[in-house]
Amino acid sequence: MARVVIGLSGGVDSSVAAYLLQQQGHEVVGLFMVNWHDTTGTLEGDCPWHDDRLFAELVARRLDIPLHVVDLSEHYRRRVVEYMFAEYERGRTPNPDVLCNREIKFDVFLKEALKLGADYVATGHYCRKREEPTADGRTAYRLLAGSDPGKDQSYFLCQLSQEQLRYALFPVGEMLKTEVRRIAQEQQLATARRKDSQGICFVGKVDLPLFLQQRLAARTGNVHEIKAAWPRYARTAPETATETASAATPAAAPETASAPAQAAAPPQPGDQPSTERLAALAAPWRYTVRDGKKIGTHSGAHFYTVGQRKGLGIGGRRESLFVLATDVQENVIYVGEGDAHPGLWRPALRIDPAEVHWIDPSEAMREGESRRYAVRIRYRQPLQQATLYRRREGLFILFDTPQRGIAAGQFAAWYDGEVLAGSGTIAE
Interval 373-419: pLDDT, tens: 999 999 999 999 999 999 999 999 999 999 999 999 999 999 999 99
| The pLDDT of residue 209 is above 80 | no
Per-residue pLDDT at 298 exceeds 70: yes
Measured at the CA of 76, the angle between CA 74 and CA 77, to 5 degrees, comes to: 65
Lowest mean pLDDT across 31-35, 214-218, 274-278, 286-290: 214-218
| pLDDT tops 50 at residue 237 | no
Last-in-domain residue among 176, 211, 246: 211
pLDDT at position 264, please? 46
* Residue 158 a catalytic site member: no
Confidence of residue 203 (pLDDT cuts 50, 70, 90): low
Q: With 90 as the cut, is the pLDDT of residue 47 above it?
A: no
State whether 229 and 163 are in the same domain: no
Distance CA(30)–CA(162), nearest Å, equals: 24
CATH number at residue 406: 2.40.30.10
Confidence of residue 212 (pLDDT cuts 50, 70, 90): confident
206 and 274 share a domain?
no
Closest CA to 2 of 115, 120, 141, 164: 120
**Does residue 71 have a pLDDT over 90?**
yes
Question: Of the candidates 350, 155, 173, 320, which has an alpha carbon nearest to the alpha carbon of residue 244?
Answer: 350
Give just the sign of the alpha carbon dihedral 95, 96, 102, 106.
negative
* pLDDT confidence of residue 40: 54
Q: Which of 144, 177, 211 is the last residue of a domain?
A: 211
- On whether both 143 and 286 belong to a single domain, the answer is no
Say if residue 241's pLDDT is above 80: no
Q: Residue 49 sits in a domain of what CATH number?
A: 3.40.50.620
Query: What's the whole-model pTM score?
Result: 0.88
What are the residues whose beta carbons fall under 8 Å from the beta carbon of 338, sequence distance 6 or more?
228, 319, 320, 322
Mean pLDDT of all residues in the chain? 88
User: What integer pLDDT is reported at residue 260 of this predicted model?
Assistant: 30
Residue 118 has pLDDT above 50, yes or no: yes
Contact 175, 147 (CB under 8 A): yes
What pLDDT is recorded for position 249?
A: 37
201 catalytic, yes or no?
A: yes
Phi first, then psi, for residue 300 (nearest 5°) are 150, 120
Residues 6+ apart with CB under 8 A from 73: 34, 35, 36, 37
162 shares a domain with 62: yes
Do residues 258 and 122 share a domain? no
Report residue 200's pLDDT band, with 50, 70 and 90 as the boundaries.
low
What pLDDT does 210 receive? 77
Exposed, middle or buried, 83 (CB in 10 Å: 0-12/13-18/19+)? middle
- Same-domain pairing of 190 and 155: yes
If asked whether residues 361 and 330 sit together in one domain, one would say yes
Residues 366 and 386 in one domain: yes
Of 57, 56, 58, 3, the C-alpha closest to 25 is 3
Give ∠ CA 269-275-277 in degrees, rounded to 5. 85
pLDDT at 107 over 60: yes
Whether residue 362 sits in one domain with residue 282: yes
Distance between CA atoms of 339 and 343, rounded to whole angstroms?
A: 9
Which among 426, 381, 394, 395 is positioned nearest to 408, based on CA atoms?
426
Q: What is the pLDDT of residue 42?
A: 53
Number of structural domains in the chain? 2
- What domain range is 235 assigned to? 217-426
Co-location of 155 and 260 in the same domain: no
Q: Would you state the pLDDT for residue 36?
A: 75
Lowest mean pLDDT among 45-54, 239-248, 311-320, 342-351: 239-248
What span, in angstroms and rounded, lies between the C-alpha atoms of 168 and 162? 10
- Asked if 414 contacts 399 with a C-beta cutoff of 8 angstroms, the reply is no
Residue 240 CA to residue 280 CA, distance in Å, equals: 6
Q: What is the pLDDT of residue 244?
A: 36
Same domain, residue pair 101 and 240: no
Same domain, 287 and 238: yes
In this prediction, residues 168-174 reach a mean pLDDT of: 98
Question: Is the pLDDT confidence value at 269 over 80?
Answer: no
Last residue of a domain, one of 211, 230, 257: 211
β 120-122/3-7 pair status: parallel
pLDDT band at 251 (very low <50, low <70, confident <90, very high): very low
Strand pairing category for 168-169 and 384-391: unpaired
pLDDT digits (tens, 9 = 90+) for 137-170: 999 999 999 999 999 999 999 999 999 999 999 9
